[in-house]
Amino acid sequence: MLASFDHTISLIAPAKINLALHVTGRRDDGYHLLDSLVVFARFGDRLDVTKAVVDSFTISGPYGADLPGDESNLVLKARDALRRHYPEKATPVAIHLEKYLPIASGIGGGSSDAAAALRALTTLWGIEASLIELAALGLPLGADVPMCLHGEALIARGIGEDIERIAAFPRLPMVLVNNGVTVSTPQVFSALGRRDNPPLPALPLRMGPGDVCTYLAQTDNHLFAATQKLAPSINDSMQALIETNPLLARMSGSGGTCFAIYADDEMAEAAATRLHKTQPDWFVVATSTEGN
Ligand code: C5P
């Protein structure tokens, strides 16, 4: 939490990164069964909630103009879901979202915003809800909302709601890249060639960044081939990252954001500086993930 001052709660809604994403099956309702190793970056959107006389919702930030501020926004859906559940607590609230994550880009921006809204509003409204209750409220808003509520390295199974915390996981120096390619998640899932892949191999107990990458080399993002087919320019992001000699480069979620892992922060910074120079119009961020 950034601050709690005078009835204002400020939270960072971090980028969610699927280090590995295996598609292991499909449910009768069409949702896919996943086995995914998920981490969260020290970079994301910022959400401020303040007690007010009437409800309001404003958006700013580099990607703010790309996002609807109406009832279709996941932040307002989260507010309304919580309000329906706790009508006696839910007084009017002014919400401000500062959008630093590209929209619909495989790093969970909307889901992370919704999770931050649920957490911030439970605090503001003095609601005592467990993580499990909030996850149940958040799941209908998006399959990634429960994992974003946890906000730490985890394995997500089911359609994303069956969460296993990882006891110890290293902080990973990382660069995130998005070249502006837009990808529709439902279309990517529809275009999958195979839906019955094996689950993730068991995680080693203790790992440094190098061990994580050795482990990740035995895993995949099973959505990548479908995204490549629908949005071939994803290859430009991957190629640009590979040219910075990372330990590993991969796409997150259904894309189009790709990430690379480096041995240390200096190498991640140097890679981002180089990418900024060669691709000044791309989203490029040097960050690191939170360790457990
Ligand atoms: O739940 P969310 O809005 O993030 O999912 C968007 C779409 O992605 C779903 O409507 C579904 O088509 C697809 N999806 C899926 N299996 C999942 C998660 C999402 O098929 N586990």
Provide the pLDDT for residue 7.
83
- From 32, 74, 147, the mutation candidate for ligand 1 (largest count of ligand atoms within 8 A of CB) is 32
Q: Which atom of ligand 1 is the closest one to the Cα of 32?
A: 16
Is residue 174 within 8 A of residue 269, CB to CB? The reply is: no
Give the residue from 2, 3, 11, 1 showing the smallest Cα distance to 95.
Answer: 11
Q: Which atom of ligand 1 is the closest one to the Cα of 110?
A: 4
What is the rounded average pLDDT of the residues 150-177?
96
Sign of CA pseudo-dihedral 272, 277, 282, 283: positive
**Residue 134 burial class via C-beta count within 10 angstroms: exposed 0-12, middle 13-18, buried 19 and up:** buried
What's the DSSP call for residue 221?
B
pLDDT at 158 over 70: yes
Provide the pLDDT for residue 67.
92
Q: What is the pLDDT of residues 215-230, one digit of tens each?
A: 999 999 999 999 999 9
pLDDT at 35 over 80: yes
Q: How far is the CA of 254 from the centre of ligand 1 (A)?
A: 10
Q: Helices 131-138 and 109-124 sit at what angle, rounded to 10 degrees? A: 130
What's the DSSP call for residue 139?
G
Give the residue from 49, 42, 17, 45 showing the smallest Cα distance to 118.
Answer: 49
Provide the pLDDT for residue 204.
85
Give the residue from 193, 192, 185, 181 showing the smallest Cα distance to 240.
Answer: 181
Q: How far is the CA of 160 from the centre of ligand 1 (A)?
A: 9
Is residue 143 within 8 A of residue 158, CB to CB? The reply is: no
Report strand pairing: 3-5 vs 8-26: antiparallel
Annotated catalytic residue, options 16, 45, 77, 113: 16
- Which residue puts its alpha carbon closest to atom 7 of ligand 1? 186
Provide the pLDDT for residue 2.
54
- Tell me what the pLDDT averaged over the chain comes to: 95
| Residues near 140 by beta carbon (within 8 Å), at least 6 away in sequence | 81
The tokens describing 26, both together, are 């499909």
Provide the pLDDT for residue 275.
98
What is the rounded average pLDDT of the residues 222-251?
98
Q: What is the pLDDT of residues 183-236, one digit of tens each?
A: 999 999 999 999 999 999 999 877 888 899 999 999 999 999 999 999 999 999
Give the residue from 169, 176, 172, 171 showing the smallest Cα distance to 244.
Answer: 176
Q: Which atom of ligand 1 is the closest one to the Cα of 30?
A: 20
Q: How far are the Cα atoms of 3, 72, 121 from residue 51, in angstroms, in the given order?
A: 15, 22, 10
What is the rounded average pLDDT of the residues 263-273?
97
- Which residue puts its alpha carbon closest to atom 14 of ligand 1? 31
Q: Which residues line ligand 1 (CB under 6 A)?
A: 31-32, 34, 142-144, 159-160, 185-186, 189
Annotated catalytic residue, options 99, 144, 211, 281: 144
Question: pTM of this prediction?
Answer: 0.96
pLDDT at 1 over 60: no
Whether 16 is catalytic? yes
Q: How far is the CA of 31 from the centre of ligand 1 (A)?
A: 6
Residue with tokens 């598609």: 23
Q: How far is the CA of 42 from the centre of ligand 1 (A)?
A: 25
Whether 144 is catalytic? yes
